[in-house]
Amino acid sequence: MRTVLLIIQKEFIQVFRNRMMLPLIFVVPIIQLLIIVHAATFEVKDARICVVDHDLSTTSRKLVSTFEASPFFQVLGYSADYKEAEKLIRANKADLILSIQAGFEKQLLRERYGQVHLSINAINQQAAGVIQAYSMMIIRDYNRQLIVDWIGRSTPAQARMIPVEYAYWFNPELSYINFMVPGILVLLVTIIGLLLSAMNIVREKEIGTIEQINVTPIHKYQFIAGKLIPFWILALLELAFGLTLGKFLFDIPMVGSLWIIFMTAAEYLLVVLSYGLFLSTVTNTQQQAMFLAFFSMMIFLLMSGLFTPVESMPAWAQEFNRINPIAYFIRIMRMVLLKGSGVSDILKPFLSLGVMALTTLLLTVWRYRKTV
């Protein structure tokens, strides 16, 4: 035990001697948290609309006013020609064309039926889908209001309508920040833990101190433990700091137990740090270690469900996530913080992380012995 403590002491001395290390561990993640949370969003606000109104009736103006009153849309102006409005979309100056044909109001009065045409800039498929959903919601509400105004509330047809009220569980305001902050915290802890551990042993190789350590009677498990524990502690401190910032800056809900979060984080960091040390044992330069760490981290990250739902991925991708530790930890973070899930709710992903932690630790110890 004394040997492990001495190695831990040595690692902390190296960290505090390096003037760039502490800012890299604490300051950079804070900046990334503040930027990524606002940048990594699929919310669409102030979508630009060009209106082509050939009807110029009271009904068509009310429809346009409904779009103007929405916080999601911004009416750029009116155009008398659809082709001119189309040029705005091609020039990326508009996101949506709302086209209302002549005789729109008359058709509604005579046939109780009318048509509007929406042209959406779909170069960004995700944004186009959100704009379409917002537009359909506004048109549906406008149509319902027309029924109320023209048919009247006292008719039997209107009396049979059932009012529907929506209630969203766990994220009532549908805040994208509440959804993203737990995942971004996982990302930041992963980046720091993986990169620092991946460059740890290989740095000893580059400066030549690894050979001095190899001739000492230090056991392989003592060496790996001494290398792992300092960054494990620093990563947990960084997570605590990030949760504090998330609460004070973004007011993210913390419904569940923080003990569950840190218990899972401690297990997850064993996986990440062990994997980083494993990469450090199979590479000869810090550049090689950094490249392998980034390569593997990007694959795991993009398939983890941080930005896109895992359920919408192909079947093979969902099967791949069975060995993706980032996917498990992001799921647990969101379940505990937003839903208040307990130990029984997260037991399966928690046990999966435990198996991964044990496997990567044993693999790292075995690999280090093979390279000395």
* pLDDT computed for residue 272 by the predictor: 94
* pLDDT computed for residue 30 by the predictor: 76
- For 127-141, what is the mean pLDDT? 85
pLDDT > 80? residue 212? no
* Per-range mean pLDDT, top range of 166-170, 172-176, 310-314: 310-314
* pLDDT computed for residue 160 by the predictor: 52
> Could you tell me if residue 120 is left (phi over 0), alpha (psi between -120 and 50 degrees) or otherwise beta?
beta
242-273 pLDDT tens trace = 899 889 888 888 998 999 999 999 999 999 99
55-74 pLDDT tens trace = 888 888 888 888 888 888 88
State percent of the chain over pLDDT 90: 21
201, 189, 181, 109: which is closest to 151 by C-alpha? 109
283-337 pLDDT tens trace = 888 888 889 998 999 899 889 988 778 887 888 888 888 999 999 999 999 999 9
Contact 361, 277 (CB under 8 A): no
pLDDT > 70? residue 85? yes
- Report the SS3 class of residue 118: strand
Q: What is the pTM of this model?
A: 0.78
pLDDT > 60? residue 193? yes
- Which pLDDT band holds residue 165 (cuts at 50, 70, 90)? low
Q: How many Å apart are CA 293 and CA 297, to the nearest integer?
A: 6
* pLDDT computed for residue 42 by the predictor: 67
* pLDDT computed for residue 162 by the predictor: 55
State percent of the chain over pLDDT 70: 92
Token pair for 232: 């494990």
Average pLDDT, the chain: 84
* pLDDT computed for residue 159 by the predictor: 43
- Which pLDDT band holds residue 180 (cuts at 50, 70, 90)? confident
86-100, 105-119, 257-271: the lowest-pLDDT one: 105-119
* pLDDT computed for residue 335 by the predictor: 92
* pLDDT computed for residue 281 by the predictor: 86
Amino acid 36 reads I
* pLDDT computed for residue 267 by the predictor: 95
Token pair for 127: 């944004």
- CA–chain centroid gap for 251, Å, is 17
- Which pLDDT band holds residue 154 (cuts at 50, 70, 90)? very low
Q: What is the CA radius of gyration of the chain?
A: 28
103-112, 172-181, 342-351, 363-372: the lowest-pLDDT one: 363-372
Cα dihedral 139, 142, 144, 146 in deg (nearest 10): -130
Please provide residue 94's backbone torsions phi and psi, each rounded to the nearest 5 degrees: -140, 150
pLDDT > 70? residue 40? no
pLDDT > 80? residue 20? no
* pLDDT computed for residue 41 by the predictor: 66
Amino acid 343 reads V
Residues 6+ apart with CB under 8 A from 370: none
- Reported CATH class of domain 47-159: alpha beta
Classify residue 3 by burial, with Cβ atoms within 10 Å: 0-12, 13-18, 19+. middle
Question: Locate tokens 């720091």: which residue?
Answer: 192
- Distances in whole angstroms, Cα of residue 31 to Cα of each of 24, 34, 38: 11, 5, 11
Domain boundaries, the chain: 2-41+175-371, 47-159
Q: How many Å apart are CA 80 and CA 101, to the nearest integer?
A: 11
* pLDDT computed for residue 1 by the predictor: 74
Token pair for 288: 């090689």
- Which pLDDT band holds residue 158 (cuts at 50, 70, 90)? very low
* pLDDT computed for residue 271 by the predictor: 95
- For 147-165, what is the mean pLDDT? 56
